[in-house]
Amino acid sequence: MNIKSLLISIVVLFIAITVTDILIHGVWLSPVYEATKSLWRADMASGAYMGWLHAGHGLAAVAFTMLWAAGFAQNAKLSCGVKYGAMMALFAQANTLITYAVQPITLEIVWKWMVSGVLQGIILGIVVFWVYKPLKK
């Protein structure tokens, strides 16, 4: 495993996750969240939980990158990055269905989370393909 490339990739993926989450949740889904504000923390806008959000983004970036580096990067093509990102996203979207079963979120939120989550996963798969460079055998 190429440690230098791994660390750079984790940072780049952290940024990519944060930026895509801002676009998804802060822009596209903002009106939906406003219409369902009784379901969300009233003090989210204050930034009181930003550390937790960043910790989640960091954990996702580490896991996504390390799994790619350990299992897929050595002989990967761009199509492998796309498939990897899509599969990781589908795995993560299982939690969206579970959340719908236990929380009173709307079906609109569910499908928008699922569609945006899969697109985000594909983007992340492409990013990690381009950024992470394995050691030559």
Provide the domain limits for residue 21.
Answer: 3-36+46-131
Whether the model pTM is above 0.85: yes
Residue at 136 is within a domain: no
Residue at 78 is within a domain: yes
Residue at 123 is within a domain: yes
What is the reported pLDDT for 70? 96
The residue-averaged pLDDT of 82-106 equals 97
Q: SS3 sequence, 65-91? A: HHHHHHHCCCCCCHHHHHHHHHHHHHH
Convert the pLDDT of each residue in 47-84 to its tens digit: 889 999 999 999 999 999 999 999 999 999 999 999 99
